[in-house]
């Protein structure tokens, strides 16, 4: 088994959506789904743009898909040859995780189509494709190559007023409907053959048609170069797209590919985990790191990563808590500049969080559960459709998942604790923490007849139980946020003037005293036989098995949570909740406490979210159970290799890649199996290798130094890299 190559043979139309995800090519600016060149909307072909959103009519706002800038269609002797519409003798596709190159080979009998393409890591606007035709019969071929505007949208259309231009590069210009953001796609071709060439402009695209007679044994190749630009980049996107396209054509396919490969090598030099002992695990770990690295916003300094990455418009292209809890750890330990971008996004979108809190009648910063441009809330009050009545179901993710602000404060403080760099705090991060703490002051429920303070009417990570009181995860994260606000004075002890000015600017003197008073009053969860109660009254719910709950389903696509969901009145939970708390605060709980809670909650967890298994695996490692962590690691790491995770929530399609699992795989390997921890600013190791692994080796950045971590069954060491 090659530890860097994912390969699949055969074609099943039912796998089109999953294949588009697992064979994704991306570079942080855009994501090109893993569909073949002739595919259209029916095969879920798309180029999804980062940070460009649009709302059509009253449908959900979502990211914009660009025109299909690498579109090819072949006819031979009057017959169209297209995978899924024409029977193929064989089909093979593969993705090289090392260098982000997608290849396909489809044998239609008289003609075999082969191609290799990439979304450039060296030029974020560039896509390129080398398209080869091998003929086993004489005849006449017509090849259409150009830009297709038959765009797959979930809640679209989003592009309007298409304008087509020809010349040395084909060009399509359009604008989004809501905010009139200009989007441009350019394409130019370098064929290695002579042909009769005709320009075709149609309702859904602009193409060059190459027509010629061919003989058995002929091989024809076309190198295609395409570029996507938008008005958000600055300048005229049409001029920019054309320039990127023509510059790439002048350099040639091989030179552009080499620059792309070199860029990927630099990325792997910073973060590659080498796993020895199990080839399937090594491939899965490379896949996870590839999928998270290829969507990192290297082209921007204040952009984050959507919950489904750049694999499509699912989840509205929104930024969730995944960014701080699941993506952040790999980047802060290996590529801190990307971690800074994720956090700068939150600093930049603070005004949106202040506005949302005010809309609900609170002070401070209540961050969007599904954050879109400017920090606007993309989450609606109706996120699920009932599979029986086909009516929208009221959900409470938008207004009750208040832990989101504390998650952001957790990441900001973690960035400082891990890197020792407080510049991000000075550049707005400290204000974010203070405003999040202020929100919790405003949101707390005090009582006249007791000293205790509750946080009622909330949803924790387990979304199956809505509007609960004193969720253990939420309360502990809130406490950490409040403590972090107080710790800012200690962090800036050598600059008291700067910090005092910040407090005065925020009119924070009264809030400071209230925070100090609130921290010891936050309700602690009930503990029974060492088990932390997930929320008030959880232990009083029906205690049944997962099989019991599954047997109650009348439709496999039913939503399990909410008022009428099959899990809502039981102790069955969607994902790690108390265990997530223990994974994020390893020094707060003893191994015995973690073990008791792992034994209790794991059998009651559906793992209905791709965010769940990694938390249970981390907890298993920390109680000396790498044997229990191993299958959870494989479940996490293989999710975008085998295809997995839920595809539907009610009638809502939620498919796509799983960046949180990708980050979770790194967390299990580095923080779980290797036991990497930062203690007083220094990395330490507490290994828990499962027997399947004979060696783990990976680089990290800590204290401004590049270090190499190596762990074997005999122990571990950290040494400085030259």
**Parallel/antiparallel/unpaired status of strands 79-81 and 90-96:** unpaired
3-state secondary structure of 618: helix
- Report, in this order, helix, strand and coil percent for the chain, each rounded to 5: 35, 25, 35
How far apart CA 385 and CA 253 sit, in angstroms, is 47
Q: For the whole model, what pTM was predicted?
A: 0.96
> How open is the CA angle 396-401-404, to the nearest 5 degrees?
145
The answer to whether 412 and 425 are in contact (CB under 8 A) is yes
HSE value, Cβ hemisphere, 13 Å, CA-based, for 668: 36
Residue 649, φ and ψ in degrees, nearest 5? -120, 100
User: Between vectors from CA 612 to CA 580 and to CA 408, what angle results, nearest 5°?
Assistant: 50
Q: Phi and psi of 494, rounded to 5°?
A: -85, -5
Nearest by Cα to 44 from 660, 662, 656: 656
- Strand-pairing partners, residue 128, are 118, 225
Q: What's the pLDDT at 648?
A: 67
3-state secondary structure 511-565: HHHHHHHHHHHECCCCEECCEECCCCCHHHCECCCHHHHHHCCCCCCCCCCCCCC
CATH 2.70.98.40 in the chain: give the residue spans.
5-270
Per-residue model confidence as pLDDT tens digits over 332-379: 999 999 999 999 999 999 999 999 999 999 999 999 999 999 999 999
- List the end-to-end C-alpha distance of the chain, in Å, as a whole number: 32
Query: Is the bond into 641 cis (omega within 30 degrees of 0)?
Result: no
Which residue is catalytic, options 38, 370, 463, 533?
Answer: 463
- 534: preceding bond cis by omega (within 30 degrees): no
Dmax (CA) of the chain: 92
Are 328 and 345 in contact by the 8 Å Cβ rule? The answer is no
Rounded distance between C-alpha atoms, residue 454 and residue 522, angstroms: 6
pLDDT digits (tens, 9 = 90+) for 423-452: 999 999 999 999 999 999 999 999 889 999
508, two tokens? 């924070």
Torsion (CA) 547, 550, 551, 552 in degrees, nearest 10 = 130
H helix count then E strand count, the chain: 22, 32
List, in order, residues 6 or more apart from 446 with CB less than 8 Å away.
453, 521
Task: Give, for 209, the enclosing helix (H) or strand (E).
Answer: strand 205-214
Angle, vertex CA 180, rays to CA 176 and CA 184, nearest 5: 60
Flag residues of the chain having pLDDT under 70.
646, 648-651
Give the residue among 522, 607, 618 at the shortest CA–CA distance from 579. 618
Domain 272-720 has CATH 1.50.10.10: yes
Q: Using CB atoms within 10 A of its CB, is residue 254 exposed (0-12), middle (13-18) or buried (19+)? A: exposed
* The domain made up of 5-270 is a member of CATH 2.70.98.40: yes
Tokens in use for 487? 């710790």
Contact 153, 65 (CB under 8 A): yes
d(CA 74, CA 82): 7
Tell me the pairing of strands 170-176 and 159-165: antiparallel
Q: Nearest-CA neighbor of 220 among 112, 82, 94?
A: 112
Rg of the chain (C-alpha set): 26
Residues ≥6 apart with Cβ < 8 Å to 46: 20, 32, 33, 35, 65, 68, 151, 152, 312, 313
Integer Cα distance of 698 and 709 in angstroms: 5
Q: What is the pLDDT of residue 385?
A: 85
Query: Cα–Cα distance between 543 and 524 in angstroms, integer?
Result: 23
Domain with CATH 1.50.10.10 in the chain: 272-720
The sign of the CA dihedral 365, 366, 367, 373 is negative
Residue with the two structure tokens 């929530």: 649
Predicted pLDDT at 202: 82
CA distance 460 to 576: 10
The DSSP element (H or E) to which 615 belongs, if any, is: helix 613-622
- Rounded CA-CA distance 16/691 in Å is 36
SS3 219: strand
Q: How far apart are CA 154 and CA 327, in angstroms?
A: 25
Question: For residues 84 and 43, what is the distance between their CA atoms, to the nearest angstrom?
Answer: 8
112-151: burial string, b at 16+ Cβ within 10 Å, e else? bbbbbbbbbbbbbbbbbbbbbbbbeeebebbbbbbbbbeb
The per-residue pLDDT for 647 is: 72
pLDDT at residue number 203: 83
Query: Is 276 a known active-site residue?
Result: no
Q: What is the pLDDT of residue 650?
A: 64
């Amino acid at each position: 088994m090659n530890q860097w190559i994912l390969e699949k043979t055969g074609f099943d139309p039912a796998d089109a959506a999953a294949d588009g995800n697992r064979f994704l090519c991306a570079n942080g600016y855009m994501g090109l789904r893993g569909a073949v060149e002739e595919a259209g909307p029916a095969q879920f072909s798309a180029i999804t743009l980062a940070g460009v959103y649009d709302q059509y009519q009253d449908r959900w706002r979502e990211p914009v898909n660009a025109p299909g800038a690498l579109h090819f269609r072949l006819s031979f002797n009057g017959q169209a040859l297209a995978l899924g519409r024409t029977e193929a003798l064989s089909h093979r596709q593969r993705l090289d995780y090392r260098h982000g190159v997608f290849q396909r080979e489809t044998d239609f009998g008289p003609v075999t189509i082969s191609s290799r393409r990439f979304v450039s890591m060296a030029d974020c606007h560039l896509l390129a494709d080398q398209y080869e035709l091998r003929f086993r019969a004489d005849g006449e071929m017509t090849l259409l190559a150009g830009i297709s505007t038959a765009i797959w949208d979930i809640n679209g259309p989003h592009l309007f007023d298409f304008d087509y231009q020809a010349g040395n590069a084909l060009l399509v210009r359009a604008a989004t409907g809501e905010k009139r953001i200009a989007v441009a796609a350019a394409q130019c071709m370098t064929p290695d053959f002579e042909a009769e060439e005709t320009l075709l402009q149609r309702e859904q695209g602009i193409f060059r048609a190459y027509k010629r007679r061919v003989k058995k044994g002929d091989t024809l190749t076309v190198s295609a170069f395409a570029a996507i630009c938008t008005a958000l980049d600055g300048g005229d996107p049409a001029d920019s797209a054309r320039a990127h396209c023509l510059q790439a054509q002048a350099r040639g396919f091989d030179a552009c590919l080499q620059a792309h490969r070199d860029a990927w090598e630099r990325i792997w030099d910073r973060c590659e985990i080498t796993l020895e002992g199990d080839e399937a695990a090594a491939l899965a770990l490379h896949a996870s790191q590839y999928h998270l690295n290829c969507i990192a916003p290297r082209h921007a300094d204040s952009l984050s990563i959507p919950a489904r990455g750049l694999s499509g418009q699912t989840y509205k292209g929104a930024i969730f808590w995944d960014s701080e809890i699941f993506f952040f750890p790999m980047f802060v330990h290996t590529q801190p500049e990307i971690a800074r971008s994720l956090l700068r996004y939150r600093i930049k979108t603070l005004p949106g969080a202040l506005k949302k809190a005010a809309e609900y009648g609170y002070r401070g910063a209540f961050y969007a559960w599904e954050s879109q441009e400017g920090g606007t809330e993309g989450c609606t009050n109706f996120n699920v459709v009932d599979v029986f009545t086909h009516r929208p179901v009221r959900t409470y993710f938008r207004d009750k998942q208040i832990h989101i602000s504390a998650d952001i404060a957790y990441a900001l403080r973690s960035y400082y604790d891990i890197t020792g760099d407080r510049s991000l705090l000075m550049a707005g991060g400290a204000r974010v923490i203070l405003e999040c703490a202020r929100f919790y002051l405003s949101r707390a429920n005090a009582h006249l007849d007791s000293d205790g303070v509750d946080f009622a009417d909330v949803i924790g990570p387990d979304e199956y139980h809505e509007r609960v009181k004193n969720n253990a995860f939420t309360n502990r994260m809130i406490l950490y946020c409040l403590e972090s606000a107080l710790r800012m004075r200690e962090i800036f002890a050598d600059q008291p003037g700067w910090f005092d000015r910040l407090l005065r600017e925020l009119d924070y003197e009264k809030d400071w005293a209230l925070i100090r008073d609130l921290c010891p009053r936050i309700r602690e969860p009930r503990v029974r036989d060492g088990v932390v109660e997930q929320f008030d009254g959880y232990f009083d719910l029906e205690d049944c098995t997962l099989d019991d709950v599954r047997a109650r389903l009348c439709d496999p696509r039913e939503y399990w949570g909410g008022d009428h969901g099959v899990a809502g009145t039981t102790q069955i939970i969607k994902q790690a909740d108390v265990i997530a708390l223990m994974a994020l605060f390893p020094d707060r709980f003893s191994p015995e406490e973690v073990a008791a809670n792992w034994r209790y909650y794991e059998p009651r967890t559906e793992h209905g979210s791709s965010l769940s298994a990694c938390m249970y695996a981390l907890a298993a490692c920390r109680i000396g159970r790498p044997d229990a962590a191993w299958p959870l690691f494989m479940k996490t790491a293989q999710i975008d290799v085998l295809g997995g995770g839920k595809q539907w929530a009610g009638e809502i399609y939620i498919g796509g890649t799983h960046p949180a699992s990708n980050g979770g795989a790194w967390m299990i390997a580095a923080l779980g199996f290797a036991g990497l921890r930062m203690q007083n600013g220094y990395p330490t190791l507490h290994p828990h290798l499962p027997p399947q692994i004979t060696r783990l080796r990976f680089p990290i950045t800590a204290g401004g130094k590049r270090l190499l971590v190596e762990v074997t069954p005999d122990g571990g060491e950290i040494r400085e890299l030259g």
